[in-house]
Amino acid sequence: ERAQQHIVGPFEEDGRSGAHVIPFDKRVPHEIFIPPGDPAGARPGDMVLAEITRPPPATRNPSGRLLQRLGRLEDPGTDLKVIMAKYGLPDAFPEEVEAEATRVPTTVRAEDIAGRTDFRSWDTVTVDPETARDHDDAISLDRLPGGGWKLAVHIADVAHYVPPGWALDQEAYLRGTSVYFPDRVVPMLPHALSSGICSLVENQDRLTQTVVLELDAKARVRKAEFHDGVIKSRARMTYQQVQRIVDGDAELRRQFAPLVPLFERMDELAKLMRRRRYERGSLDFDLPEPKLVLDEAGQMTGIVAHARLDSMRSIEEFMLAANEAVAERLDRAATPTLYRIHEQPDPERVEEFAELVSSFGYRLPAKLEEIRPQDFQGILRQVEGKPEEKLISDLLLRTMRLARYHEENLGHFGLATEMYAHFTSPIRRYPDLVVHRSLRALRHAQGADVARDLPGPLAEMAKHLSDMERRATDAERELIEWKKVRFMADKLGDVFSGYVTGVQSFGLFVELDEIYVQGLVHVSSMTDDYYRFDERAHMLKGENTGKVYRLGDRVKVQVAAVKLEERKIDFALVDVLERAAAGRGPGRPPTRPTRPSGPVRRGRERAPAGKAGKTGKTGRARGGRRRRP
């Protein structure tokens, strides 16, 4: 409802008759009329936040009033303000929430520890991105006689400090999740909790909910225990440090000598667990992750692709195992909770994917309606290390349904598991907090009473929290894309290499190598020939020259236009420009637009949307973090 009532866009004056706001979101069809005398300090061209006060009648635009001036579109920081306003992201916590946060203890007291399992003597560490401020998980790991393993996954006990019904709890539910922008985090919980008493900082007692797994020598889980615990982390480690230690860095191995055996055990067990997960068909899109490089003003200066490290994969495996174990325990006991589900992909989308990859020589089984994750995994293994790996991985991601929250356990297709829940990130995800409360209630024989303390019916909560996750993902993605467009603004005429990521009747979508920027080669710029669109073959073909542009083709493009307000970039194909400059190809000069050779599925001129969120906890740059499955 708020999204329909609040509109973000540029402010323009209409003289004496008033002014209007042009919606920044192109899906909003009407401009907003602003009556005279309500400027709110805004000048023509300013980005503003407006509220609709009168719905649109049949023949007129809606009326509204200005709530906030956000700044000039070209000013540093305006992009973040616009995105936060557009998606209704809160800029600060309400006073009563901050007041409750100040009443939360800043240290662990003796009465907090009473009745808990004491893990403080165990070698325990946190492993996170270099820029992490909140540490919600820690690991302990030992060998068992006979070659088995004892793995402890310690998760911050947020539920101990955020009781149901508090304003803290209600605000966390409304937010649903933390939002990670490249240069700022919009947290689910106030910093007094997220970076303070709930964060598993080193050399401090911290309360946890802990999953202890006993695994055999082949990394099969044989026993699972669940504890209210207390830990003291030995060290705050980064992924890079742990990887260098495992790889043999002499200086770091001396610095952390007592913990080196722990890191080596973590690496060994995680590789066994990963192999077993692959054997059951679990999907993993193991590609380098691009991170924006920003200056002090928040402007993008470049993009760096960080390869996933084995240390990242280790933490990922341990978190996945804990999430599965918790889901299985709650499901077996029929305790009300929220599950993380991922349904089988739509057969039509699978058919489209099969058709796309067949053009590269890859095949899926004939019965697409019975597709299994193992079938997709086979494709990923075949493309590994090949030029088309990223493209096909992206296409597969678009084929998948979105994972979401649900009150019933419906399994997780992508992870090839029958039971899954989110348990390991309660500082930044409200569903994890729900699962913590369910698990504690079950341990205390109060499982049937869980629903009494929930903010609403589980089905309603699942939808709201899935929506809030989607809002966060969309806001994060849009701001990143906007920064990429700004980054390209001074590169008009520059030439880049890239590959074709989409083919439509109106042109080609091209993603640039190394900087991961995507733009459109509009068919109107392809002036050397008439190009027919072959939808089934995913290509444009020149009518006279026979020149073909297919999905996945390598191309060189010149930056032709950067449209900041539309957040779009136009490219021109270098070979087309060269042929056009050398004279028209064979045949008469073009006098009519490109037409398809067969039935065409019409659509907007936009790139196919990919999905955020790959399996596991793999870090963030300047506040960004991948979302877990």
H runs (alpha helix) in 158-287:
158-161, 167-175, 191, 239-246, 250-255, 260-279
Report the C-alpha gap between 425 and 430 in whole angstroms.
9
Full-model pTM: 0.88
For residue 233, what are the contacts with CB-CB under 8 A and spacing of at least 6?
124, 125, 126, 135, 138, 200, 201, 202, 203, 204, 206
Q: Tell me, what's the pLDDT at 592?
A: 38
Q: Is 238 helix (H, G, I), strand (E, B) or coil?
A: strand
And the tokens for 63?
A: 């009326």
* Residue at token pair 């299985």: 328
Which is nearest to 555 in space by CA: 505, 509, 606?
509
* Residue at token pair 């992508």: 414
Report the C-alpha gap between 245 and 294 in whole angstroms.
29
pLDDT digit string, tens, across residues 206-243: 999 999 999 999 999 999 999 999 999 999 999 999 99
Q: Which of 55-64, 149-158, 372-381 has the lowest mean pLDDT?
A: 55-64
Angle at 189 between CA 431 and CA 159, to 5 degrees: 55
Q: Tell me, what's the pLDDT at 30?
A: 86
Q: Inform me whether the pLDDT recorded for 597 exceeds 60.
A: no
Q: Tell me, what's the pLDDT at 4?
A: 61
Domains assigned to the chain: 2-72 (2.40.50.700), 95-343+401-484 (no CATH), 488-581 (2.40.50.140)
User: What residue type is assigned to position 418 of the chain?
Assistant: E
Q: Inform me whether the pLDDT recorded for 606 exceeds 90.
A: no
Q: Inform me whether the pLDDT recorded for 591 exceeds 60.
A: no
How many CA atoms are closer than 13 Å to the CA of 65, on its beta-carbon side?
A: 6
Contact 178, 136 (CB under 8 A): no
And the tokens for 420?
A: 């899954």
User: What residue type is assigned to position 196 of the chain?
Assistant: G
Q: Inform me whether the pLDDT recorded for 593 exceeds 50.
A: no
Mean pLDDT of the chain: 88
Q: Inform me whether the pLDDT recorded for 415 exceeds 60.
A: yes
pLDDT digit string, tens, across residues 428-482: 999 999 999 999 999 987 656 666 667 778 999 999 999 999 999 999 999 999 9
Report the C-alpha gap between 427 and 429 in whole angstroms.
6
Q: Tell me, what's the pLDDT at 75?
A: 87
Count of CB atoms situated within 10 Å of the CB of 535: 16
Report the C-alpha gap between 504 and 606 in whole angstroms.
10
Q: Tell me, what's the pLDDT at 626?
A: 47
Torsion of Cα atoms, 290 then 296 then 301 then 307, to 10°? -20
The secondary element (H helix, E strand) that includes residue 9 is strand 6-13
Exposed e or buried b for every residue in 310-341, given b needs 16+ CB within 10 A? bbbbbbbbbbbbbbbbbbbbbbeeebbbbbbb
Report the C-alpha gap between 485 and 547 in whole angstroms.
30
Report the C-alpha gap between 375 and 172 in whole angstroms.
39
Mean pLDDT within 126-154 = 95
Report the C-alpha gap between 543 and 227 in whole angstroms.
69
pLDDT digit string, tens, across residues 27-52: 888 899 998 876 678 889 999 999 99
